[in-house]
Every structure is written in C-alpha cells, then in structure tokens.
Amino acid sequence: MRRFVIVGQKATTAPEFSLDDLPATSGRLDVLLRCVQTALLVSHGLRRDALVYLVLLGGPRSPRAIRIDGRVAEYVRPDERSLAGLVKKLLATATDAPGFVPLAHGMSVAAGGLDAVVRDLGHFTPYVLEEETQDLRECPLDLRDPVFFVGDHVGFDETTRGRIAELGATALSVGPVRVHAHDAIAILWNEIDRRDARSSRG
Amino acid sequence: MRRFVIVGQKATTAPEFSLDDLPATSGRLDVLLRCVQTALLVSHGLRRDALVYLVLLGGPRSPRAIRIDGRVAEYVRPDERSLAGLVKKLLATATDAPGFVPLAHGMSVAAGGLDAVVRDLGHFTPYVLEEETQDLRECPLDLRDPVFFVGDHVGFDETTRGRIAELGATALSVGPVRVHAHDAIAILWNEIDRRDARSSRG
C-alpha cells in the first residue's frame, strides 16, 4: 500500500462549511480535496493500492483525521464539490472515538490528529515532501509500505514538522519549482508508477 | 512561452451550466478547469511563461475557444468553483467574432475551435500527450515555443486527432499509468522545470 498523510493546518473539522465557498469557509479544505483526488484517482478509476489520511487541524473539534482506503472506497468522484460533500457528511456523522471509526464506503474518521494516524499506520517507511531537499528521482524508495507526509498550501506547522522528523522521515523534493501539493503528489505517483513498471519488467 | 491546448469533446459553450453540478451540466468542464489550474498555477502564484487554450466542442454555440494568458492573467484562483465562475462570465459576454476577443484580465474568447487556436499560435513546435507513445523523459523538447495538445477524460475525437497529426505533432507519454489530464500536465511541467533548471545551471 502507498499511503499519503495530508496535513491541513487550518482545514476545518466542522461540517458547517459552505460548498459554495470552500476556500473561505473551510480553512482551505479545497487544497486537501485536490490531494485526495490525485492520490486516489486515475483515469476512469481508483488506485486500489492507495490510502489517504487527511489531518484537519482547524475548527472547533480539531484535531480530526479522515481515512479513505482505495482498496474498498466507492463514490470518490474527481470534482471538488462532490469530494467536499463527502467530507462534510463524514464530519457530520463522526463520533468522539479516538481511533478510526468506519463510516461508509471505505471511509473512516478519528477524533485525533497525527498521533491517531501514526497509531493506525503500523509498519511503514516514512517520507516527507519538502522543497529543496533530495531529488525524488535520485532517492531509493520503499515501494511496499511507504508513507508520504504532505503539507498544505502553508506547509507544516512546527509541531507537525517535529513529529514527522521524530519518525525518521526521509525528505524528498519533487523538483525545482514550488508547485501545489496535489501536483507534487502527481509527480510522486509518476515516479512510483515508473519504478513499478521497471520492477514488473524484471 | 509554454502553451497548452486542452480539448473538451463535450465541454459546453453555453454559460447556463450549474456551478453546483459542473460534471453533469457542463459537459465535464471540471476536467478542463483542473487542467487550467495545473497548467497556470504554482504555489502562491501564476506561471508567467504559460498560456492555456480551452477548446469547447459541446453545447449550442460550439465550437468556442478560451485563452488565458499567464503573462497578464489575474484572478485565477485554484478552486474549481472560482474557475468555473470565471469561465461562465467569459462565455456569457463572448461575441461571435472568429478571432480571440480580449475580455478581461488576460482572458479572451473566440467563436471558433481548434482552427481559431492554430491561427492564433503563430510559430510553435507541436506535441500531443498520448498514452503508450514515446516517454517524455527520453524525448527532446523545444523549451522556447512548445505547444502541448491535451485531450479530456475521453481523449480526442477523430477530427481533432487528425488535425493535430496534420500539424506534425510529436506524441509524448507521461508514464506507464493512465492518469487524469491535469495530473499529466503536472508531470509534464515537472520535466520542463527540471530541464529549465539544468539549462540555467549551464
């Protein structure tokens, strides 16, 4: 499984955000939704070897974490409004249980943040996308159980950055230009897909 | 300038589509909007060396083409709904002039399709993104005046495909997995950014 942990510094845990103005009312949940889209979806389908966690650090009930499991997920559509509607429903029905509670169609919510995610991860090799670090193309990658930590449009807060460093995450850069988080995920997936293709060719 | 021509087979020319249900009411304009986003936007800004054409082949007044010029564009926001609102306004104020009529903030509309775009392009080296063709990473690229033709979620119709072939476009593949058009553009930009960085290092 290739797993992605997307951390939204201000992304809201409150389902009252407006679908008509996501950027202004949801703490830029739109940034995270685009990451979900790129991490999970390919042309006409889902990546069944992918799993996404969203860590929501904004809003009244923060932190909360959402998990979408590509192995079993359904109804994940590519447009932002559909994805936002999905997250709205998940947040509205979430309980205060600290672990991940399955809600529907491969989606779960936990009343916890990065710690709840790390407890859920089990065995993994951590990587973190960071600008001006080691070039992804030059870096060995664990293709079996990698976990990629990705920041939102304002990057990681210091606490999150420290926590990821404690995990021993290898920093990777996707290229010389600062691109949006979801574009970085597209570039990362492309490198993984190429290595998968090479290893399946033997 | 790096220019992108995104062709929407069903994308509507009629501004009456619903912002609340883009996929079902706009002929999947959402697919094209995500391409605009990735082609033009980087973290906290616009790519000032990029220009995007959208060719809309669906709806009552088709074909129409929209041009967004990164050199001078303003108010291009990353979320789909904002971009959709922008396109709605452009289509509502468009005239029936066959060439590109500047409307606002670096945006223009033409009452024509691919032919209007090709007339507007002037000098260029054409490339077309196609699965299972030459690997982008292995291909020489004109970094001065490339034009990249990109299909939507259903690819190119036969007429468009023939027209692009007549232009002598080089087919490029971004990788072994069929990804969404906007993810393909992210991967393409990454390759261009890397070559730019190499050539600026000398």
Q: Transcribe B167-190 into DSSP letters.
A: TTPEEEE--SS---HHHHHHHHHH
Q: For residue A173, what are the contacts with CB-CB under 8 A and spacing of at least 6?
A: A129, A130, A131, A132, A133, A134, A135, A136
What residues in chain B have per-residue pLDDT under 70?
A: none
Inter-chain residue contact A79 with B20, CB threshold 8 Å:
no
Count the neighbouring beta carbons within 10 Å of the beta carbon of residue A158: 7
pLDDT tens sequence across A25-75: 999 999 999 999 999 999 989 999 999 999 999 999 899 999 999 999 998
Cα–Cα distance between B1 and B47 in angstroms, integer? 10
pLDDT tens sequence across A162-179: 999 999 999 999 999 999
Cα–Cα distance between B5 and A188 in angstroms, integer? 24
- Residue for token digits 């007339």? B119
Of the candidates A109, A111, A145, the residue with the CA atom closest to the CA atom of residue A125: A145
pLDDT tens sequence across A138-159: 999 999 999 999 999 999 999 9
Q: B38 contacts in A (CB within 8 Å)?
A: 180, 183, 186
pLDDT at B202: 72
Does the pLDDT of residue A98 top 90, yes or no? Answer: no
Q: What single DSSP character describes residue A27? A: T
Q: B189 contacts in A (CB within 8 Å)?
A: 177, 179, 183
Inter-chain residue contact B43 with A174, CB threshold 8 Å:
no
Q: A182 contacts in B (CB within 8 Å)?
A: 186
Q: How many CA atoms lie within 13 A of A78 on its CB side?
A: 26
Contact A134, A170 (CB under 8 A): yes
Inter-chain residue contact B178 with A42, CB threshold 8 Å:
yes
**CA dihedral in degrees (B65, B66, B72, B74; nearest 10)?**
180
Inter-chain residue contact A153 with B41, CB threshold 8 Å:
no
Whether the upstream peptide bond of residue B78 has omega within 30° of 0, thus cis, is no
Inter-chain residue contact A44 with B153, CB threshold 8 Å:
yes
pLDDT at B44: 86
Q: B82 contacts in A (CB within 8 Å)?
A: 23
Please list the residues that pair with A128 across neighbouring strands: A149, A171
pTM: 0.97
pLDDT at B45: 94
Does the pLDDT of residue A202 top 80, yes or no? Answer: no
pLDDT tens sequence across A104-133: 899 999 999 999 999 999 999 999 999 999
Cα–Cα distance between B4 and B16 in angstroms, integer? 26
Inter-chain residue contact A42 with B78, CB threshold 8 Å:
no
The residues on B that touch A, with CB distances below 8 Å, are: 19-23, 30-31, 34, 37-38, 41-44, 77-82, 153, 174-180, 182-183, 186-187, 189-190, 193-194, 196-197
Give the closest-approach CA distance of B185 to chain A in angstroms: 9
Q: A80 contacts in B (CB within 8 Å)?
A: 30, 79-81
SS (H, E, C) B33-92: HHHHHHHHEECCEECCCEEEEEEEEECCCCCEEEEEECCCCCCCCCCHHHHHHHHHHHHH
The ipTM, to two decimals, is 0.97
Q: At what angle do helices A181-200 and B181-200 cross, to 10 degrees?
A: 90
